[in-house]
Amino acid sequence: MAKVFISYERTGEVSAHRVADALRAAGHDVWTDAELPAHRAYSEVIEERLAESDAVVVLWSAAAEKSQWVRAEAEYARQRGNLVQVVLDDSLPPMPFNQTQCASLKGWNGDRRNSQWRKVLESLSQLSSMSGASDAAAPGGPGPAPPGPPLNRRRKVMALTGVLLALVVGGAWLAGDLRQRQLSLKDPRTVVLPFKALSADPAAREFAAVAASEFAGKLSESQIQTVTSSRAGQADFAITGTVQGANGMLHVRASLEDPHAGVTLWSAEFDRSSADAAGLRSEVGWRLNDVMTSAVLGRQNGRGRLGPAELGLFIQARDALAASDVESRPLVQELVRRAPDFALGHATMCMHLLGGARSASPTDLAAQRDAAVAECRRAAELDPQLGVPRRGLSNAEDGRQWARREALLRPGDAKSRDPELDAALGEFLGQTGRQNEGIRLLQAAAARKGWTIYSAALAYVLLTSDRREEASEFISKRLALRPEDSDMRLLNFLVVAFRRDPEAAFATLDDPARRPGLPPPATKAYRAFLEARRTRSAADRQTAIATILDTLGSISQLKPHAVAMLAELGAIDEAFRVTDEYSSDPSVVRYGFTMQPNFLFGPETVVMREDIRFIPIVKRLGLVDYWRTSGHWPDFCAQEPKSVCAEMRRQAGAG
């Protein structure tokens, strides 16, 4: 097992003892400064123990960030490649340590089953394996060299003092180095280095043998410039990784490095069965593709003024966004604080604020919207050609002002148009019932960029068109590549709930690995809906209708779910009543980001589009005026002969 050095600040002593006890129980040899002998100098013993350790576990906290000894010990371990980081509170490690993954043990009570604690143990296991491999003599090679003379006390103290000095001057040196070296801003180059197999497992060795060439091929397909390992010195980015196999499982750790600054920009871990090694390579490869897309975008938009720490925050924030807005937001906040002149940072913060505003209280909604608009305007000032701020400003407009919102997504300068605007426009058109045109724009963006922030928008527009099977296939492929994508998990559940066997939908709700992130009222409503679909009994249908109205009828943002379920159950009067409430709710129609009427154009609501009561609803939402003045009527007008489109056009004076 590993020899572990624990670094902490005095206020974290209780946590340090808890961690030490748990590591000893797991069989590790643990040392903390509580074991300092009384007859020796502190710095001498610290240096010896650091040098002897297989791993240094640093317990970060707001207080530890200010401790020069903790930072020195962490830097010593970072340079040796045996740093394991833990955070004890809500703070982030200081740079450059914030570029390496951390386990969060905030509030940890010593539970050995905790997933974050298992990450610590896994890291120690890998470092212990690497240490054992490096200590063993190569077959047929010379034996280990005899130990050299021990460092004298002066040299040991100078070594640790040197690390402390590096922390003080490192920021200035790194900034100077970045100013001096020529960055490839337009077309950054990436090298994928061979992955290392950390075990003799055949599946791990096979994975490592083909990973680099396969991943480099995926990057090239996405028009990301790569160089071979023989030209690694010319690369702006380097992808590295390790593979370990045990008990029929493969564990992969992949990292993105800035080789010039010596900084890890991003890293992640992946686990799958050895039998699904090909699926694991696909997942890792596409994740790296997404990460590199963000890295290139950040490097280009940063125009040489974005340091590696800030670029790492941008990459990590975009990567985390696929899994959780909650995980991504603190990274974006820190990015904006550190890089106030980085346009994409402000644009990303704008979109985060708008996303969070959907669930804000009525009293906080306007303030959060105004904060988002300020961020988007700042981004537009810094880079007038950037597309994301325009998307944010369009969503922050009055939701019913469709023509004005569309104009923001169609700037006059087409020559310098950001491709992101096409995807944003596709999302917008899907909300207006012009699904086919929207799908074409979104598919082009997905093909060009792999995973994008618009992948969920594409899936949703496909779902609300007549292309359900295409939607299902797209969602399944995305989930195979990113199983933790919360948006795709929800959309996958909607496919199953409305178009598959109800038993399959119940299984999805009961499986933690596939369960969508629905709030409890929505989960309760869907269970009643699925039970009515399963039994087809009149009693269960009435129970489901009552449950849907009781649980979702008063929650504005969940009413589209209620309408879809009610319409599917044939409760058309109830569906119209909820839709009337939705379209009349000021908290819904006030802003574009709170009003998403896609559900009005989906397969479940086709009967509603054949009912004259549909017309005043779309009038109230401002859609009829938009369709008339733009000359582009929704797709259902051409696809659904029984719809009320002809009457709607007659009333609008469009003939």
Give a three-class secondary structure readout of 286-335.
HHHHHHHHHHHHHHHHHCCCCCHHHHHHHHHHHHHHCCCHHHHHHHHHHH
pLDDT averaged over every residue in the chain = 83
Domain count, the chain: 3
Domain shared by 385 and 407, yes or no? no
Q: What is the DSSP letter of 400?
A: T
CATH of the domain at 288: 1.25.40.10
Domain shared by 356 and 421, yes or no? no
Token pair in block for residue 591: 């802003």
Among candidate residues 458, 490, 507, the one where a domain is terminated: 507
Q: How far apart are CA 424 and CA 418, in angstroms?
A: 10
Domain shared by 294 and 366, yes or no? yes
Domain shared by 63 and 84, yes or no? yes
Domain shared by 233 and 373, yes or no? yes
Domain shared by 356 and 425, yes or no? no
Q: What is the predicted pLDDT for the residue at 619? A: 97
In a domain, 374, yes or no: yes
The residues pairing with 30 across neighbouring beta strands, listed in sequence order, are 4
pTM of full prediction above 0.85: no
In a domain, 105, yes or no: yes
In Å, what is the CA distance from 341 to each residue of 291, 309, 384? 22, 15, 13
In a domain, 554, yes or no: no
Q: Which residues of the chain have pLDDT under 50?
A: 136-183, 415, 451
In a domain, 435, yes or no: yes
Please, are residues 72 and 64 in contact by the beta-carbon 8 Å criterion? no
Q: What is the DSSP letter of 83?
A: E
Q: How far apart are CA 344 and CA 313, in angstroms?
A: 12
Domain shared by 354 and 244, yes or no? yes
Write down the residue that tokens 């001057």 correspond to.
169
Q: What is the predicted pLDDT for the residue at 403? A: 95
Give me the DSSP letters along 325-386.
HHHHHHHHHHHHHH-TT-HHHHHHHHHHHHHHHTTS-HHHHHHHHHHHHHHHHHHHHH-TT-
In a domain, 22, yes or no: yes
Please, are residues 374 and 367 in contact by the beta-carbon 8 Å criterion? no
Domain shared by 448 and 373, yes or no? no
Q: Residue 527: which residues within 8 A CB-CB, separation 6 or more? A: 506, 509
User: Letter for the amino acid at 411?
Assistant: P
The residues pairing with 512 across neighbouring beta strands, listed in sequence order, are none
Q: Per the omega criterion (within 30 degrees of 0), is the bond before 37 cis?
A: no
Among candidate residues 111, 130, 149, the one where a domain is terminated: 130
Q: What is the predicted pLDDT for the residue at 38? A: 56
Please, are residues 605 and 560 in contact by the beta-carbon 8 Å criterion? no
Q: What is the DSSP letter of 149?
A: P
CATH of the domain at 73: 3.40.50.10140
Domain that holds residue 74: 3-130
Nearest to 66 by CA among 105, 108, 8, 123: 8
In a domain, 573, yes or no: no
Domain shared by 16 and 122, yes or no? yes
Domain shared by 386 and 407, yes or no? no
Q: How far apart are CA 122 and CA 84, in angstroms?
A: 10
The residues pairing with 251 across neighbouring beta strands, listed in sequence order, are 244, 271
Domain shared by 318 and 396, yes or no? yes
Domain shared by 352 and 421, yes or no? no
Among candidate residues 507, 530, 556, the one where a domain is terminated: 507
Decide the pairing of beta strands 55-60 and 3-7: parallel
In a domain, 120, yes or no: yes
In a domain, 152, yes or no: no
**CB atoms closer than 10 angstroms to residue 567:** 23
User: Letter for the amino acid at 101?
Assistant: Q
